Structure 1
Amino acid sequence: MSVELNHTIVHARSNRESAEFLARLLDLDVGTEWGPFIPVPLGNGVTLDFATIAAESITPQHYAFLIGDVEFDAALGRLEAAGVAYYADPHLEQPGRINFHHGGRGLYFMDPAGHGMEIITRPYGSHEVTPAAP
């Protein structure tokens, strides 16, 4: 059997709030709570298991999601409707913009626990990097 990522634990101030935030924005289902975890299954079989821990113990991480163009448009619309700030860059210096790296589109936003979230429509390295749109 090949090696595959099955699940990872995502620390949160509120496991339910963070799981529902991501699921709502990416049109995913929230799984059944299991012990201290609220799972959010992804399309490739990987599950993000959100766990509540003390806020001062959270080390911000980065999570990138490869999605289709239709899903990107829908997620962008949900971000805007919810008033969630998004950026074209990981340093959060280009607010309200998306990028067109690797022949696709991408953007960054923060989740309620302070993790950096990224959605992209093309994998890194699949095309030449281009600057963010004005």
Structure 2
Amino acid sequence: MAIQLDHLMVPARDKLAAAKLLAELLDVPWSPTSVGPFAAVFVNDGLTFDFDQWPEPIPLIHCCFRVDQQAFDAILARIQAAGIAYRSAVHGPVDHAVDRAHGGSIVYWNEPDGHQWEMLTVSYARQ
């Protein structure tokens, strides 16, 4: 069997708010309860993000979601509707722009705990 990432624990100040926000942006199901103390976001059939309540300081993570262009456009529209700042560069300023320099679409945003989410349509890591 190939190695697959099954779940990822995401530390949060408010696990319910963080899980709900990500689930709504990605338009995927979530549950305020899961195995153990987690609020689960079911990213797809093979990956769950388990949000866990942590005290300060919150260690930051970066995760990238690869989606098709139709899903990208829908998620970006939800990010915009929620008034979330986004940018076209991983460490760049908020420019409310999409990077199209790698043969697809890429955008970055941070959630309230500081975690950085990336969304792209073409994997530049696997060219």
**TM-score under structure 2 length normalisation:** 0.91
CA distance in 2: counterparts of 1:6 and 1:125, whole angstroms: 20
Q: Give the structure 2 partner of residue 50 of structure 1.
A: 51
The letter for the 2-side match of 1:16 is L
Alignment correspondent of 1:96: 96
Name segments (4+ residues, structure 1) moved above 4 Å.
none
**5+ residue gaps, structure 1:** 128-134
8 Å contact from structure 2 (residues 85, 94) kept in 1 = no
Q: Which residue of 1 aligns with 2:10?
A: 10
Percent of pairs with identical residues: 35
Distance 1:44 1:33 in 2: 18
Take 1:54 and 1:61, find their aligned partners in 2: how far apart are those partners? 16
Moved more, 79-88 or 30-39: 30-39
Q: Output the amino acid matched with 2:17.
A: E
Q: By how many angstroms is 1:71 displaced?
A: 0.8
Q: Which runs of 5+ in 2 are unaligned?
A: none
Number of residues of Structure 1 aligned to a counterpart in Structure 2: 126
Change (3 A) 1:55 1:101: farther
Residue 112 of structure 1, CA deviation: 1.6
RMSD value, Cα: 1.5
Q: In 2, are the aligned partners of 1:92 and 1:108 still within 8 Å (CA)?
A: no
More strand by share: 2
Structure 1 residues 44 and 92: CA distance shift in structure 2, 3 A: farther
The alignment partner of 1:42 has SS state of: strand
The TM-score with structure 1 as length reference comes to 0.87
